[in-house]
Every structure is written in C-alpha cells, then in structure tokens.
Structure 1
Amino acid sequence: MLNTGKERILIIAPHSDDEVLGCGGLIERACSLGNNVKVVIAALGETTFWHSGITVTADIRKKELSDALLYLGCRDFEVMYDDKEAVLDTIPQKDLVSKIDEILMSFQPSMVFIPYPSFHQDHKALFNACMASLRPQPGHHYKLIAMYEYPLIVWQYPQINNTGVLFLDLGEKVDRKVEAMRKHVSQLRDPKHLISPENVKKWAEKRGMENGCQYAEKYYILSAQLF
C-alpha cells in the first residue's frame, strides 16, 4: 500500500521516541517512497529521568525528535503539549479529542497509526482520545487505522482481541531504525533495558521470526477499507 507514493500517513505518539520505537521502519519506508508522513507527539516537558538522573528540557526533547525524524526522512511533525509529559491524563479528554479532531481535519490522512495502550497513563489517555476522534462519521474515510507497538505492552496489559495483524519487513533498514533511536540521546538506556537500541533490534528480530523474515515491525489492525 505504501508503494503508491500517494498516501497521507499520520502517526500519533505519546512521547518523543515512541514514534521510532513503534514506527521507525514505517516512517523511513513511507518517506523514501514519497508518501506524505506527519508525526504528532502528544506530550513533552521538562523532566528528570530516573534512568539518568538528568533533567531534560522540552527544547532538548524537540531537538532530539527533529534529529530522529530528519534522519528517517520526515520533516512534518508537531507537538500538542510541550509541558505535559507524564501528566497527559490530567487534561480533560474533551480537549485531547478536540486537538486530534483538528489535526485529522487539517491533514486529511489516508492512514492513521496510534499507540497500543500500555500501563503508562499518557499512553492510555492518548489511545482513548484517538479512538474517540477516529470514530466512524460521514466524510472521514481511512484506508487503514492500526496500532503500533510499545515494547512494554508485554507487562501485564490486557490484550486487545479480534485484531488482524500486519508486518513490515525491515530487512537491513532495521539499522536505520536503531540509529534513529540513538538520536533520542536523553532516552538511551542500558543495553539490557527493553527499549535500549540493542533491544530495539532484538524486538524487531523477534517480530521478524513471527513473519518469516529477519527483522520486522508489527501492527494491529483496527480498521481497513478497500477503495
């Protein structure tokens, strides 16, 4: 479907780095084929991260996001809130839905990728808002609505049943996904951590084994249409 070069692809992520974790390969492939790709990050903000003890500003996070997306070939991105990291659930759901509605109306995507909900409060809040905004209504036709993975969904989160799955064969381009993750310098973890660059590649290898290829990204279909 990406090979037409005519798709308008919207990726909505809770935080900067989630877009690479879930869709790094997709972003690179879609952009290289000439599709119009837009990435929306829901929440950034000045935060002291437990893994490093370092306080990171919203401006640093935005710079890392820009570096990662430019490396993957994507130049169209925006941040919904630059002062709400880890407190997205404190925003009234109506306000989140309204912001996403505005983005959908202005960008008019043919495909939308949203986060699979995890234990994290921001991921849950964004997922619920996306589902409300993507409700069936006249004048809104999407070829595909799918969820991308956040590796920590493995931590005791109820599985969403009755979804089909899609795999994107990454091949050697998996290294570009890993390198894009490294652009998020403030987020880099110890090699043993589940979202370290090393384990991002291992996760892609695991999904590749499920699909008979070396490396892959996995997506969960919420809605798909044939035109």
Structure 2
Amino acid sequence: MLEQGEERLLVIAPHADDEVLGCGGLIEKACRFGNDVKVIIGSVGDIAFRHKENGVIGAETRKKELEEALYYLGCHDYDIMFKDKESAMDTIPRNQIVTKLDDVITCFEPTMALIPYPSYHQDHQVLFNASMASLRPEPKKRPRLIAMYEYPLIVWQYPKVNDVGELYLDITDSIDKKIEAFCKHKSQIRSSDYLLSPEKIKKWAETRGMEVGVQYAEKYHLLRALL
C-alpha cells in the first residue's frame, strides 16, 4: 500500500515524541514512498519533567524538537491543537477537541488514521476518546484503516484493550531513523534503564519484530479496515 504512494496518513498524537514512539517507522516509510503524511499533536506547553534536573522544559523547545524530528523522517505537515495544555487536556471541553479533529479530518481526508492507545496518561485517554468520536462512520469521513499505535509505557495500563486485530509493520530498514528521530526530542531522552530511552525503544521494536519473524517491527491495534 505505502509503496504505491497513494495513501493519506493521519497520525494523531497527544504529545511531541509520541508520534515517533508509536509511528516513527511508519511515518518514515510513508514519506519515503511519496505518501501524504500529516501529524496532529494534542498539546505542547511549559512542563516540568522528573527526569530533568534543571526543571521546566519550555513549549518552544518542545515545538523545535518536534519539527526537527518530523523533518528528519521526511514529514513537513504538522499542527498543534493546543499550545498550553500539555498534561491538562482533560480540562478542555470534549466538544472543542472533537471539533478541531473534525475539521482536520474533513480537510485532509485521510485514507489511514492512527490514534493513541489509551494508556494511563490522561492526555492519551482524552485524545483517544476524541479521536473515536471524530472518526465515527460518515459518508465523507471514511479512512480505509483506523488503528491504535502503541508506545512502551502501555505496559502500565488497565483495563487492557481487547477484541481488536493486530497489525505489524516491518521497520527493519527504518529502525535507525526512528531512533535518531526520537533523539531529536532531546528533552525527553531518559537513561537506558527507562522505557523511554533509545535503547529500550529499539528493544521494544525488536520484541515486536520477534513476534512476526522480522528483525524490528511496530505493532498497531486494528479498530477498522475497509477492503
């Protein structure tokens, strides 16, 4: 599908770095083969991270890192929905988020939509629910494929998402670019004993690859496919 260069891929991500963690290999492949790729980030903002001794990471830093990561993967089409609600998207009225996503989907007309797996984080949960509302079946809003992407921290979530299909993407030829793109998010890099470290991200892709007999893979949880 991607090799034909006819897809319109929409990635909806809660935060800057989630797009690479979940879909970095897919974004790189889609762009390399000439498909249209658009990334929507829920929010960036000034926020303190516990893994950073120097305190608050500014919104402008996060936006610059996002741009560098996406450009490295070949994607130049992205937008940020809310500029000051990072880790606080649960304070935004749901209809405001759904309306923004409705407008994006109507204008971009994606053939494939990737949405965040609903982990423990409130922003992931909010954006997952809003995405499900915006991707409701309608004649003029019909991506042929809708799936959830994962990231390493879904190991800590309850309840589990069941009764969905499984999709794997071989990213063996994209893994190095995925890791390098994540490293563009310098403020987010942890040491190797954390799940959100370059080493663990590569190990996660290796584990998913092992499940389907390739060296490295991304796993997607299928919600709907129209053949």
Q: TM-score range by the shorter chain?
A: over 0.9
C-alpha RMSD over aligned residues: 0.8
Quote the Cα distance in structure 1 between the aligned partners of 2:143 and 2:108: 12
Contact 2:7 2:35 in 1 (8 A): yes
Aligned position for 2:167? 166
Q: How does 1:78-227 map to 2 (within 5 A)?
A: 78-226=79-227
Matched residue pairs, number? 226
Quote the Cα distance in structure 2 between the aligned partners of 1:156 and 1:188: 22
After superposition, the C-alpha distances for 1:83-134 in whole angstroms (9 at most, x for unaligned) are 0000001001111111100110111111100000000000000000000111
The yes-or-no answer on 1:11 pairing with 2:11 is: yes
Superposition deviation, residue 142 in structure 1: 1.3
- SS of 2:84's equivalent? coil
- SS of 2:181's equivalent? helix
Aligned position for 1:33? 33
TM-score (norm 1): 0.98
AA matched with 1:18:
D
Percent of matched pairs sharing the same residue = 58
Quote the Cα distance in structure 2 between the aligned partners of 1:145 and 1:172: 24
Superposition deviation, residue 157 in structure 1: 2.1
- SS of 2:25's equivalent? helix
After superposition, the C-alpha distances for 1:28-62 in whole angstroms (9 at most, x for unaligned) are 00000000000000010011111103311111101
Superposition deviation, residue 179 in structure 1: 0.5
AA matched with 2:39:
V
**Which runs of no fewer than 5 residues in structure 1 stay unpaired?**
none
AA matched with 1:174:
I
Quote the Cα distance in structure 1 between the aligned partners of 2:135 and 2:88: 23
Superposition deviation, residue 169 in structure 1: 0.5
Quote the Cα distance in structure 2 between the aligned partners of 1:107 and 1:2: 17
After superposition, the C-alpha distances for 1:146-200 in whole angstroms (9 at most, x for unaligned) are 0000211111422211111111101142111000000000001011100101100
- SS of 1:190's equivalent? coil
TM-score (norm 2): 0.98
Quote the Cα distance in structure 2 between the aligned partners of 1:188 and 1:147: 23
- SS of 2:63's equivalent? helix
- SS of 1:160's equivalent? coil
Quote the Cα distance in structure 2 between the aligned partners of 1:62 and 1:159: 32
Quote the Cα distance in structure 2 between the aligned partners of 1:82 and 1:18: 16
Q: How does 1:60-79 map to 2 (within 5 A)?
A: 60-79=61-80
- SS of 2:115's equivalent? strand
Quote the Cα distance in structure 2 between the aligned partners of 1:171 and 1:141: 30
Contact 2:166 2:219 in 1 (8 A): yes
- SS of 2:174's equivalent? helix
Superposition deviation, residue 82 in structure 1: 1.0
Quote the Cα distance in structure 2 between the aligned partners of 1:146 and 1:210: 19
Quote the Cα distance in structure 2 between the aligned partners of 1:35 and 1:11: 13
Superposition deviation, residue 138 in structure 1: 2.1
Distance 1:122-1:70 versus aligned 2 partners, 3 A rule? same
Quote the Cα distance in structure 2 between the aligned partners of 1:21 and 1:136: 28
